[in-house]
Amino acid sequence: MMRASVHPSAIIEAGARIADGVTIGPFCHVGPDVQLAQGVELLSHVVVAGHTSVGAQTRIFPFASIGHQPQDLKYRGEPSRLVIGERCQIRENVTVSPGTEGGGMETRIGNDCLLQTNSHVAHDCRIGNNVIIAAYVAIAGHCQIGDYVAFGGMCGVHQFVRIGAHAFVGAHSMIDADVIPYGMAVGNRARLAGLNLVGLKRRRFDREAIHGLRAAYRMIFSTEGTLQERVEDAATLFRDEPLVQDIVSFVTSAKDRAICLPAHMQSEE
């Protein structure tokens, strides 16, 4: 196994755990409580601080700031953590914060994620696998982002928002309510604009499953009865449709959370 390669100008503080095959480029700084797994690459001018672990084969590009003190005035120096998964790409000027005592003490990013230039993931967020966070997207604290979610550029996400798996958020959107799995949200403030059909087809979801999902979407977001009644009807009518049940579970678990709705349903908010 190839030993770690560390440029002479890099600073690796005592206590940092650097696995075999790690590459640390010029002018990087790695803190004493950092763990870099096998094959991690810090290209140059990268700072990794705090109680941060970075998964195997992840690449971090110049001027990223990873694991520094959260941008939360309630933070009091608690030894919270940041966990980044395997095979991620974290591009230039990205900032990712660790957790806080008020949010479970941990921020977590899954495997195979892409964080494009100047994006930000705040404290206590949970980011799933295969998530694409485009340039200048800012995700506030305590958000939950499901697997395969994709963001267009320059989006803002309000704190505590949930975005379900396989959803798509259009560029320049401001998300201040939860977005259902497989949904597409666009605008400021964002409205539900249908299903992420392009994403579902690209990931080769079954055609019949997509047809069932479309039928359930029309039922849930019609104007007859209440949203709760329509969700209950969909749960019964589409009991054998896993994708529909994902949406049902997401909405019913919302409790006091607002759900992103189509524009014609604004009166239900």
Handedness of CA 134, 7, 31, 52 (dihedral sign): positive
* Residues classed as catalytic: 123-124, 141
Task: Over range 247-264, report the average pLDDT.
Answer: 93
Q: Is 213 left (phi over 0), alpha (psi -120 to 50) or beta?
A: alpha
CA gap 269, 260 in Å, rounded: 9
CA gap 191, 218 in Å, rounded: 15
Percent of the chain with pLDDT over 90: 94
pLDDT at 254 (0 to 100): 83
Lowest mean pLDDT among 129-133, 199-203, 223-227, 230-234: 223-227
pLDDT at 136 (0 to 100): 98
For 21, 22, 55, 60, 242, the CA distances from 2, given in Å and listed in that order, are 5, 9, 17, 19, 45
Q: For 28-48, what is each residue's pLDDT tens digit?
A: 999 999 999 999 999 999 999
Q: Mean pLDDT over all residues of the chain?
A: 96
**pLDDT-derived band at 264, boundaries 50, 70, 90:** confident
Task: Over range 78-94, report the average pLDDT.
Answer: 98
CA gap 192, 188 in Å, rounded: 11
For 108, 193, 195, 214, the CA distances from 217, given in Å and listed in that order, are 31, 11, 8, 5
Using DSSP's 3-state secondary structure scheme, residue 201 falls into helix
CA gap 216, 222 in Å, rounded: 10
Q: Computed over its alpha carbons, how large is the radius of gyration of the chain?
A: 20
pLDDT at 235 (0 to 100): 97
Cα dihedral 19→78→133→91 (10° resolution): -50
Q: Taking 60 as the threshold, does the pLDDT of residue 238 lie above it? A: yes
pLDDT at 51 (0 to 100): 98
Task: Over range 142-159, report the average pLDDT.
Answer: 98
CA gap 211, 181 in Å, rounded: 15
**pLDDT-derived band at 269, boundaries 50, 70, 90:** low
Task: Over range 203-223, report the average pLDDT.
Answer: 96
Which tokens sit at 153?
């550029």
pLDDT at 256 (0 to 100): 86
pLDDT at 266 (0 to 100): 64
Q: Taking 60 as the threshold, does the pLDDT of residue 212 lie above it? A: yes
Task: Over range 262-268, report the average pLDDT.
Answer: 75
Task: Over range 183-190, report the average pLDDT.
Answer: 97
- pTM here? 0.96
Which tokens sit at 221?
């977001």
CA gap 24, 20 in Å, rounded: 12
- Which secondary structure element, helix H or strand E, spans residue 208, and what is its range? helix 207-220
**pLDDT-derived band at 255, boundaries 50, 70, 90:** confident
